[in-house]
Amino acid sequence: EIYLKGMTGAVPRLPADPSRLAEMAAARLGPGPVGYVAGSAGSGSTERANRAALDRYRIVPRMLRDTSRRDLSVELLGTRLAAPLALAPIGVLSIMHPDAEAAAARAAAAQGVPFVLSSASSTPMEQVAEAMGDGERWFQLYWGKDREVTKSFLDRARSSGFTALLVTLDTPLLAWRPRDLDQAYLPFLRGVGTANYFTDPAFQAGLAKPVHEDLDAAVLHFVRMFGDPGKTWEDLAFLREHWDGPIVLKGILHPDDARRAEAAGMDGVVVSNHGGRQVAGSIGAAEALPGVVDAVGDRLAVLFDSGIRTGDDVFKALALGARAVLLGRPYAYGLGLDGQAGVEHVIRCVLGEFELTMALSGHTDAARLTRDALA
């Protein structure tokens, strides 16, 4: 399609290369928004490890195997996805673009990939659901101290058509993130990242005065209940009791934790280190993937994120045993640069390159990639 349009002299507005996309975002959007997305924990060593871990695996292409028909679809959490990709939960997307989560969600729906909405959305979940029509959507829970708010979030998500629940376990506290510290986390503190909370009846019930009458008190209440480092595996029973759809634990890096997820009746895990934004000095997420797949991969849905930039990254994650991947930072840059169209561009580039990578290395079925494809 791009080459054909090129015949008329039209070239794409955004680059196909994710590094150039990030550079363009840095140049056009400025240090505040880009610092929020690009920032990671400590000196950035985990984010670098994510890339190094994926780069260590190399694809070994095979020749003369009819690849004229290709199937990107995969079976996951009881549904068939057109492609092994979903948009990762990213909080406060209003920092990148005024249309924020609604634009990203519409892009996902238009491209037929699931959208995972963050608890820390700058748009209430009901509005995001409305923007998506019947597009597949999953809700990401930040599992805070207030049980009533958690229950209310689950009720709202269920009635807004979110089918699966992703529970992020790696963020009971916000990590040491120098770029956010240097900005004093202003976007959050101004309240833009808290629309799901501020519009929530259970959250509002915990306030002495309405949000608009005492914003400082509301923000303080939010900060106090947002994370809960006291949670343990036993607490998962509460979520199992209040959510009847699939539950996926996000942030699993150890095979024993994957086994505990299974024992707790969970349906899947996301092997992820939050894009290197939580524990500095941790292993690259792709290093953890084979061990988790070996532990639970034939019984639980294993998803992967942290470092996915290109189609060959998707290929490697699937060959290592992930059922699907979550795409993070690249779509946030696409959103910042060109709203919904920018996100669609990024999704199409990654999937286009993934399909070509499969075909050129001799594979036709995304659901059947195995480690044999890698060295």
Length of the chain, in residues: 375
Provide the sign of the torsion angle of the four alpha carbons 120, 124, 126, 128, taken in this order.
Answer: negative
In angstroms, give the least distance from the CB of 64 to ligand FNR: 34
| One-letter identity of residue 251 | G
| Per-residue tokens: 11 | 């070239």
In angstroms, give the least distance from the CB of 329 to ligand FNR: 4
Distance of CA 177 to the CA centre of its chain: 19
Residue 120 or 369 having the CB closest to ligand FNR = 120
d(CA 250, CA 140): 9
In angstroms, give the least distance from the CB of 66 to ligand FNR: 33
Characterise 88 by phi-psi region: left (phi > 0), alpha (psi -120 to 50), beta (else): beta
Distance of CA 40 to the CA centre of its chain: 15
Q: Which of 97, 221, 254, 274 is catalytic?
A: 274
Residue 227 or 362 having the CB closest to ligand FNR = 227
Query: Is 274 in the active site?
Result: yes
b/e per residue, 304-339, with b = 16+ CB within 10 A?
bbbbbbbbbbbbbbbbbbbbbbbbbbbbbbbbbbbb
In angstroms, give the least distance from the CB of 364 to ligand FNR: 26
In angstroms, give the least distance from the CB of 68 to ligand FNR: 32
Backbone angles phi, psi at 334, to 5 degrees: -60, -40
Residue 67 or 127 having the CB closest to ligand FNR = 127
d(CA 343, CA 335): 5
Q: Cα–Cα distances in Å, from 219 out to 94, 122, 198, 215?
A: 17, 14, 9, 6
Which stretches of the chain bind ligand FNR, using CB under 6 A? Answer: 36-37, 88-91, 118, 120, 140, 168, 250, 272, 274-275, 277, 305-308, 326, 328-329, 332
| Per-residue tokens: 2 | 């791009």
Residue 135 or 328 having the CB closest to ligand FNR = 328
Residue 93 or 369 having the CB closest to ligand FNR = 93
Of 372, 368, 355, 251, the closest CA to residue 302 belongs to: 251
In angstroms, give the least distance from the CB of 186 to ligand FNR: 14
Residue 304 or 363 having the CB closest to ligand FNR = 304
Q: Hey, which residues are catalytic here?
A: 274
